[in-house]
Structures are given as structure tokens and as C-alpha cells.
Amino acid sequence: MCVKMNVYYLEGVDALFSTEEINNGRQLELDIARGFAVLFMIFIHAQLYFANSNVVDSYFGDFNDFVGDIPAAPMFMFLLGVGINYSRKKNPSLMIKRGVRLILIGYLLSFIRGFAPYAIKAYCSMDITYFYEGITELMYVDILQFSGLAMIMFGLFKKFNFKNLAIALTAILLSVINIFMLNVQTHNFGLSAITGLFWGSNEYSYFPFLTWAFYPIAGLLYGSLLIRCTNKKKFYTISAIIALVVFFGGTYLFNVVLGIPSGLTTDIGYYHHLATDNITFTGFVILEISLLSFLAPIVPKFLQTIVARWSKNVTPIFFIHWIIITWTTLVIPQYSLNMFWFVIFLIVIVPLSDLLAYIYANKKRIKNSKGVFKN
């Protein structure tokens, strides 16, 4: 449907974008994309901890490896940026405070999911190496710490009134800086815990800011177009064509013709990838969202409800599923589950994480509503 009020006209044909934000509300295709990312995230994390070699080397293991890469973390981060356009809380100070809170939650999770179970293992086995492993877990830079830094960045964009061109140039600048900083490695344990937040200075920095900032910025810019789009079908058709060329053409140019290593070849390469991967991974993400937009109308209502809930509760699900996985290692040995028991584990952990996140979110909503009523 085309909106003819406050819309640019190009030679008598309705333009694709309005001057105002008209495409408001929840976007089903984005919920589906984030819902799939939640599912893939749980699958790959469970596989990393519990699947035995037969599972890892199976077609199912290969599937988890693939969907646990681009359709997971880059999708999360891209949608983080898209969501800023749809958020009602765009006050710079609130965004910065939210960012700080996410960073602190990330380190709280590192303590609960990492240090605590390793400390228990150290006590029960009287093996001090487990305690050292727990200490190491405290310096991990995971997706929550990165999300916090990204939110602070968005708050600064808002505070200093950055326009889209300046925001795009920021993404390019950060990607260029990342290329040079990846060679700067810090070997001091304490210093690495800090530097790892900003670039891939050590192996425990899984989501350094400079490497991954491209995705939320790209999402922010993409979302600024989507929310003003007057014809979503046309918008996603054009997006799919461009994304198809960027992903496949870019992959061939960068990785085959120019011989630049892809971040998909190794774990450390994935977490500390280059600007070339930023471009091609973003192409894949936009292609996936575009394709899901065409499939969204045929998704059954009950599945729409589930993915919408997962999309809204993504942070508590992330927190909860990690705790379930790492604390389960106290009972189930790592890398010990065959295909049957691994599938059973997935069947249990997915709805359990969903249920606990729903309970938490519902209690939080009730608590917040009571606070508003009192005020």
C-alpha cells in the first residue's frame, strides 16, 4: 500500500520513502528473524558444550555450525540497530544508562555462568585449575558487553545529533581502525580484560566493539528506511536483490579473487573478522530478512506468537539459557551426548528457557506497572 501524504514524488511515481515515520509497530519479519536467531543461538551453544564428536561431524552438527554463525550474532546486532528506530525510549541519557546496565549484566552473567560452576568444580574435585578457569571466564567479552557499548554509541549519536551520513562514515572509520588494531595483542591478564572490550586484543574477546559495531550501525540506517517505507514488498524486493549481489559477489571478490581469509574458516577468525566480512555478512542478514518478509504471511499464528515472545524476551533468554547450559555441566559431562540425548537436551532447554524468560518478563512488567500506578 502506498501512502500519498507527505511522500516525495519522482516523475509522477510514488517514491518508496515518506518524509515521516509511517511504517510503525512490530514488524513480523523482524520478529521471525530474531526468533530464529534465538533458536540457533541455543542450538550452537548447547552443541559447543555437550555434543560428542559424532554429533559435531554429522549433517545436523554442520547445520548448527552454519546457522550459529551469520544468522545468529550478526542478525542480533543488526536488529539491535533496526530496533532503535522503533524504540519509544530515545533519550540519549537513558540510552547511555541502558548501555552501562547491559555491560554490568554481561559481567554478572560471566560470574554466574562461568566463575560459579567452575568454583564448585574446583571445590568438589580439589583441582585448582578449575578455579583458574573460572577467573578466566570473568574476563570474557560476550554479546551483552558489546550490546552495552553499542547502546552507548547510539546514545552519543542522538546526543550530538548525528545524521545518517555521519553515522555511515562512523561505521567505515571503525572498520578501518579495526583492521590495524587486530594486530595489537595485549598479553597482560588485567589489561586484556579492558582492551578486549574494544578490539580483538586476546582470545577471550569474543565480541570486540570495533569488529562488530558495523552491524548495529548498518541496522540503524536500514531501519531508518524501513520505518519510512511506503511499499514494503517493493522495499524488500530491492533489498533482496542488492543483498544477494553483495553477499555472493562480495564473497567471491574478497575471499576468492583477492584471497582475503573469511571469518567463517576459524573460530578466532569469526569473532575477530575484517571489514570485508562486515560487508558480506550484512548482505546475508538483509537477504534473510527480505526472504522472511515474503514468507511471514504464511507463518501460522501460534508460531507468530512464539517468535514475537522470543524477540521481546531475547535478553532474559540469553541470560537463562547460558546458566542452564553451564550449570548442567555439573551433572552431565561435556562433549558426552550422542545424537539422541543431544536432541532430547535441545527439546528441554528451548521451552524451558522460553518459559523462565516469560515468567521473569511478566513479573517485571507487573512490578513496573505497580510503580507507575503509585507515581
**Residues of the chain with pLDDT > 90: what percent?**
90
DSSP calls for 306-338: HHHHHHHTHHHHHHHHHHHHHHHTTTS-TT-B-
Helices 232-244 and 214-226: angle between axes, nearest 10 degrees: 150
Q: What is the pLDDT of residue 375?
A: 44
Is 80 exceeded by the pLDDT of residue 374? no
Residue 13, classed as helix, strand or coil, is strand
| Residue 294 pLDDT level (bands cut at 50, 70, 90) | very high
Is 80 exceeded by the pLDDT of residue 32? yes
* Residue pointed to by grid coordinates 567479552: 141
Q: Which three cell numbers stand for residue 174?
A: 571503525
Determine contact, residues 146/73, Cβ cutoff 8 Å.
Answer: no
| Residue 14 pLDDT level (bands cut at 50, 70, 90) | low
Q: Which helix (H) or strand (E) holds 8?
A: strand 7-10
Angle made by CA atoms 21, 22, 23, in degrees to the nearest 5: 105
For the entire predicted model, the pTM comes to 0.94
Angle made by CA atoms 213, 164, 250, in degrees to the nearest 5: 55
Is 60 exceeded by the pLDDT of residue 11? no
Residues sharing a CB contact under 8 Å with residue 156, sequence separation 6 or more, in sequence order: 92, 96, 162
96-131 pLDDT, tens digit per residue, is: 999 999 999 999 999 999 999 999 999 999 999 999
Give the residue-averaged pLDDT of 63-83. 97
Supply the mean pLDDT for the chain: 93
Q: What is the pLDDT of residue 371?
A: 61
Is 60 exceeded by the pLDDT of residue 5? no
Q: What is the pLDDT of residue 6?
A: 47
Of 7-21, 219-233, 252-266, minimum mean pLDDT range: 7-21
Q: What is the pLDDT of residue 224?
A: 97
Give the residue-averaged pLDDT of 227-247. 97
Give the residue-averaged pLDDT of 44-62. 97
Is 60 exceeded by the pLDDT of residue 285? yes
